[in-house]
Each structure stands twice: as structure tokens, then as C-alpha cells.
Structure 1
Amino acid sequence: MIIYGVALLAICTLAGVIMGDLLGVLLGVKSNVGGVGIAMILLICARLWMHGRGGMTKDCEMGVGFWGAMYIPVVVAMAAQQNVVTALHGGPVAVLAAIGSVVVCGCTIALISRTNKGEPLPDEPAEPAPMAAPAGGR
């Protein structure tokens, strides 16, 4: 059943790469723009959708979870290979995207925190004191 996790990851990766390439063409950049991030979002959405519809067996969910966890190091490795100087030299698109993403994330967090009408989280219980070792050692 883990093969379903691989299949879902492959479908999301292909869709994300295609959407990233199309986004790059629309922005006039000769590169994939956000394809890996789009693929991760698609993987999360597909998993939630399948889980809500009852189409996710326990083995399939474990497979998706495993490959989803393996996907994160791939994203980190791909991000480490990017050349920031070339991106800044290539035009203002990279700078605008970075500033825009920070502003959107900040506004989203502020909106969520202001619209949360639920009870605040309870205080964490105080941690018990560590057990002392017996005197004399015997």
C-alpha cells in the first residue's frame, strides 16, 4: 500500500512542476517558479481530501506520510542550490516575490489571530521537580 503514497507524490510533483513552469512563462522568467512548493501544497490537499472521503487506508496514509516527510529534505536541497545573486541580477521579480510573500504571510497571521474567537489555550502545567538521587548511593 505504500506504493499509493509514491503514486500520489509523483502525481503531485508532476502537477507542481507543470504549474511552476506555466507560472514562470506567465511571469516572463525562464525558470520554474514555485513548482516544488506547489507540489507540496497539492500533496497536503490531496491527502486531506482523500482522508475526508474515506479513500485513505491506514497503509496508504503511512505511505503518504513517509514520502511526504522524505519530500522536505528534497525541497531544502533544491533551495540550497539556488543562486541568489543571479536571481537578483536577473530582474526585480525575485525581490518582489520575496517581499510579497513576507507581507502576505504577515497579513495572514495577523488576520488569523484577530479572527480567532475561541477560548485562549490553557496555561501549561508546571513541570514537576526532578527526582533526587538517593543519598549514599547504596
Structure 2
Amino acid sequence: MIIYGTALLATCHLLGIFLGDLLGQALGVKTNVGGVGIAMLLLIAARLFMQRREILPKLTELGVEYWGALYIPVVVAMAAQQDMVAALRGGPVAVLSAVTAVAVCAGVISAINRSERREEDPAPVPVLHDNPLLAEAE
């Protein structure tokens, strides 16, 4: 039932594009605003909803994972290329905002990593085999 995963992805994509167009119209621009991002959020929400209700067969889940793994990098690469071209044409304000966004993301990730608790006593590393040469060196 991998085809159901593809159908779920296609449904989320079409709904995301539609909602992105509506958002663009609401903001007064004549373009899709975040349609692909909305589609991915819908796909994640639908998958989690179906998993919690236990109505998502394993093969369908594999189909969603497969297409999600392919879909996200391709769309991100396409969007990044378009955004970069638009930013370079838009002037220094667009480039400055992009650099600022990257710096803020890096700072937030760094803060999250520093706030994690570290284990006081890590688990011992298992010994796979005894090496007589290492025993003699000690």
C-alpha cells in the first residue's frame, strides 16, 4: 500500500499549494506564500494523526517516509535557488536579512545544544573481544 503514501503526499501538496495561494491573496501578493511548507506540515500532521489512531498501515507509512525523504531535499533545493536569485536581485536588504536569519538560527541551535543535560556517569563501553597485545601493554 505504498501508493496510499503517495496519495497522502499528493493530497497534502495540493492542499498546501491551495492554502499558500489563499495566504498570498490575504497578504496582498500575487504569489504562493509557503505552500510547500504548509504541505509538509500537513503531511507530518496527517501521519501523526493516523499513527495515533492506529489507522496507518506499515506499508503506507513506508510510502510516506519514502516520498517525504525524496520530496523535502528536492523542494528545499529548488526554493533555496529561487530565494537566492531573488535575494541577489532584491539588493542588500534581502541579503542582510538572509544572513541575519542564518546567524539567529545558528545561535538558537547553539543555545539548545548548551542547555541539554549531560550524563554524569556514561555507560561503560562494551568490550567485544579480549586482545592479548593490549593486556600486555597495560
1:57 is matched with 57
TM-aligned CA deviation for residue 123 of structure 1 = 3.9
The structure-2 alpha-carbon separation of the partners of 1:49 and 1:89, relative to structure 1 and needing over 3 Å to count, comes to same
Q: Any unmatched runs of 5+ in structure 2? A: 134-138
Q: Say yes or no: does 1:38 pair with 2:38.
A: yes
SS in 1 for 2:33: coil
Higher Rg: 2
Alignment: residue pair count: 129
Query: Could you say what the CA RMSD is over the residues aligned between the two structures, in angstroms?
Result: 3.8
Separation (CA, whole Å) in 1 of partners of 2:29 and 2:97: 13
Q: Deviations over 1:34-89 (max 9, x none)?
A: 11111111001100111111111111111111111111122223223314463586
Q: Say yes or no: does 1:86 pair with 2:107.
A: no
Structure 1 or 2: more helix by fraction: 2
Separation (CA, whole Å) in 2 of partners of 1:4 and 1:19: 22
The structure-2 alpha-carbon separation of the partners of 1:126 and 1:18, relative to structure 1 and needing over 3 Å to count, comes to same
Q: Any unmatched runs of 5+ in structure 1? A: none
Separation (CA, whole Å) in 2 of partners of 1:103 and 1:32: 25
1:23 is matched with 23
TM-aligned CA deviation for residue 24 of structure 1 = 1.2
SS in 2 for 1:82: helix
2:12 is matched with 12
Instruction: Report percent identity of matched pairs.
Output: 55
Q: Say yes or no: does 1:75 pair with 2:75.
A: yes
Separation (CA, whole Å) in 1 of partners of 2:18 and 2:89: 25
Separation (CA, whole Å) in 2 of partners of 1:20 and 1:97: 21
1:2 is matched with 2
Separation (CA, whole Å) in 2 of partners of 1:39 and 1:124: 42
TM-aligned CA deviation for residue 27 of structure 1 = 1.6
TM-score normalized by the length of structure 1: 0.65
